[in-house]
Structure 1
Amino acid sequence: MTDSTHGPRTLTVTEDFAGQRTDRVLAACFGDLSRSRIKNLIDEGRLRRNGEQLGNAAEPVRSGSILVLDIPAPAAAFPVGENITFPILFEDDDLIVLDKPAGLVVHPAPGNETGTLVNALIAHCGDSLVGIGGERRPGIVHRLDKDTSGLMVVAKTEMTHRALSEDFAARRIDRAYLALCWGVPSPTKGEYEGNIGRDKRDRKRMALVERGGKEALTRYTVLKAFRVYAALVECRLATGRTHQIRVHFSANTHPLIGDPLYLRRIPAIAKSCPTDARDVALDFPRQALHAARLGFIHPRTGEKLLFETSPPEDFLTLEKALGSD
């Protein structure tokens, strides 16, 4: 076993650990790393077993296997407040519900250390927010991709963070997304499922995987079909995996319009789209995805809260263009 502050750590699994969960074994052997920290690193694609990426923290280890965990160099300990405005729909002493603009990164990460929603929240809430739920992600209970717009809830106390995190994990949160995709899913109401894990060919992407990964289920309803070339769909998540909607729709030949990661070439169905609408769709600079509905039980008051927002102007303009024939 090798150890260092950051960089690769190597562990050769001994017989006494055989059959135990990977994250438990690593936590036992690397005592300075918590199990949750190790699980996050595995989710980020930073663990390799016998040279191959392993994305499932629960997978049992085998005697003789060589595990290599890549520890990134530490970033600044605390994000700092920055004067960044964001729409607030509800706020009290326990939580904030906001409508995240597309283009805003949720929390600091390599390549986006500043200018994030966390920086904005610290400026808005003050130092009381720092450390709630984690130093690098204070208050963050769930996240949206940088270029996905829509509703988020942020915790302002540890109690609220713990309660909401448990509700998300237990799938007690009511949430729905609106998306514009290429083609019209058939049937018009159905489910996409399949385990999601890191794409072995591109760590920035997720993919459907036959081995490992995490179970994922997306329920969808076609709200509007634009002839055969595109559709407005509502999506509800039975699970909450990274890029889940984007991966499921791409894997089922209906990639989201504008998706920079999962739409690598112009879909054949785009040829049937009217020229003006096609030009608008092909120029759309982000995935056409909006978190439109968010409902939950307030952890302190027990009140049922439900919020809904319309997609931003660029999404509505794209929708209008698709239906302009």
Structure 2
Amino acid sequence: MQEPGELLPFLFAKLSGQGRNAVKSILARGQVSVDGASVTAYNHPLRPGAVVAVSRERIEEVPQLIGLSIIHEDDDLIVVSKEAGLLSIASPQENELTAYRQLTDHVRRSDPRSRIFVVHRLDRDTSGVMMFAKSEAVQQSLQNNWQEAVTERVYVALVEGRVSKLEGTISSWLKESKTLKMYSSPYPNDGQHAVTHYKTLETRPQLSLLEIRLETGRKNQIRVHMQDIGHPVVGDKKYGSKSKVLGRLGLHARVLAFVHPTTGQQLRFETDIPKTFVNALKI
């Protein structure tokens, strides 16, 4: 490149044997680099001395993750932020887009033999931080030592009504009914022990925003315990909610902190409280 100019006219001149649309396609597909960096903008400025290279191979576009973003990835783990509405993993009978399927595709782009292993799950309508392992050994290490490995699990919940007791602890024994609904047994030692700590962040006559720390991680634990204290999670029809103010479940996994199973490093990941939760309190 001898004189200043723009990329597309330069390519038209140098690739005169190609049609104009073909040249535009080559550029749009990411096959052109300027000084070693891939460029797709037609009007990218070219300075004298710039090195323009055209790759013969089409650069594959990386599919965008849907309802999911990667917060952290290393050789052993992937930590993601999941949106409400996305399944963590589907049953064998279902053929739905899930966090598990998308992350499996993600790791297989660099190595077709790679696999993803589920460490814990979030309900479809719960958003927030969750973690996947890249090997069965790491998955087993985390699951077998979950109480010791996970140092912090914090949720935020938008619940119905004004919570009169600003903070407290809920303890019960959880069981599952024949209809697959969890409930607190009235009898001690009958089921799995579940302990939930909550603190009120904001409260209004109709709604309250709570910070919830899990001491145990049982199925639907927060949802059952919120119903137990008379303040079901917004949008949780299964556990007594009548409010549809959000159009989704008012539950978000905000913080996940744990000891890395391989390095021993303490890692902590925090996401923002969903704006829809905060805005609902202003109505």
Give TM-score scaled by structure 1 length.
Answer: 0.61
Give the alignment of 1:191-206 within 5 angstroms: 191-200=169-178, 202-203=179-180, 205-206=181-182
Letter in 2 for 1:183: G
Cα drift, residue 172 of structure 1: 3.5
Letter in 2 for 1:206: M
Q: For the structure 1 residues 171 and 230, does the alpha-carbon distance in structure 2 shift closer, same or farther, using more than 3 Å as the test?
A: farther
Structure 1 residue 147: Cα displacement: 0.5
Whole-angstrom distance in 2 between the partners of 1:112 and 1:256: 27
Q: 1:175 and 2:175 equivalent?
A: no
**Distance change >3 Å, CA 170–CA 300, structure 1 → 2:** closer
Are the structure 2 counterparts of residues 299 and 128 from structure 1 closer, same or farther at C-alpha, using a change threshold of 3 Å? farther
The answer to whether the 8 A contact 1:150-1:311 is kept is no
Is 1:190 paired with 2:172? Answer: no
- Structure 1 runs of 4+ with >6 Å offset: none
Residue-by-residue CA offset, 1:241-287 (whole Å, 9 max, x unaligned): 111000100121000111131125x3xxxxxxxxxxxxxx5342221
1:101–1:150 Cα contact (<8 Å) kept? yes
Which residue of the other structure, out of 235, 257, 260, is the alignment partner of 1:295?
A: 257
**Alignment match of 2:186 (pick from 201, 210, 213):** 210
Secondary structure at the aligned position of 2:145 is classed as helix
Asked whether the equivalents of residues 121 and 130 of structure 2 are also in contact (C-alpha less than 8 Å), the reply is: yes
Unmatched tracts of structure 1, length 5 or more = 1-81, 131-137, 267-280
Structure 2 contact 142–149 (Cα < 8 Å) conserved: no
SS of the equivalent of 1:87 reads strand
The residue aligned with 1:242 is 219
Aligned partner (choices 192, 210, 229) of residue 252 of structure 1 = 229
Matched, 1:285 2:247: yes
Counterpart in 2 of 1:74? none
Which of structures 1 and 2 has the bigger CA Rg? 2
Q: Which amino acid aligns with 1:208?
A: S
1: CA distance between counterparts of 2:95 and 2:196?
31
1:199, distance to aligned residue in structure 2 (A): 2.7
CA 238–109 in structure 1, closer or farther in 2 if over 3 Å, else same: same
Change (3 A) 1:190 1:107: same
CA contact (8 A) 1:183 1:229 kept: yes
Asked if the contact 2:163/2:203 (under 8 Å) is kept, the reply is no
Q: Distance in 2 between matches of 1:162 and 1:114?
A: 26
The Cα RMSD (Å) is: 2.1
Within 2, Cα distance between the matches of 1:89 and 1:116?
17
Name the structure 2 match of 1:307: 269
Compute the displacement of 1:196 (Å).
Answer: 1.1
- How many angstroms apart in 2 are the aligned matches of 1:171 and 1:93? 18
Pick one of 99, 103, 107 that aligns with 1:117. Answer: 99
Q: Could you tell me whether the CA contact under 8 Å between 1:184 and 1:231 is conserved in 2?
A: yes
Amino acid at match of 2:217: G
What SS does the aligned partner of 2:141 have? helix
Residue 27 of structure 2 corresponds to none
Amino acid at match of 1:296: F
Alignment-mate amino acid for residue 259 of structure 2: I
C-alpha deviation, 1:157, in angstroms: 2.0
Q: Secondary structure at the match of 1:310?
A: coil
Aligned length: 215
Kindly report which structure 2 residues correspond to 1:19-34, keeping only aligned pairs within 5 A, or say none: none
Which letter does structure 2 place at the counterpart of 1:195? W
Name the SS of the counterpart of 2:217 in structure 1. coil
In the TM superposition, 1:133-148 aligns within 5 A as 138-148=116-126
What's 2:142 paired with? 164
Q: 1:283 to 1:323 in 2, by over 3 A?
A: closer
The one-letter code sitting in structure 2 at the alignment partner of 1:103 is G
- Per-residue deviation, 1:110: 5.7
- The residue identity in structure 2 corresponding to 1:96 is I
Compute the displacement of 1:123 (Å): 0.5
Segment drifting more, 210-219 vs 90-99: 210-219
Whether the aligned pair in 2 keeps the contact of 1:171 and 1:239 (CA below 8 Å) is: no
TM-score by length of 2: 0.70
Distance 2:169 2:255 in 1: 19
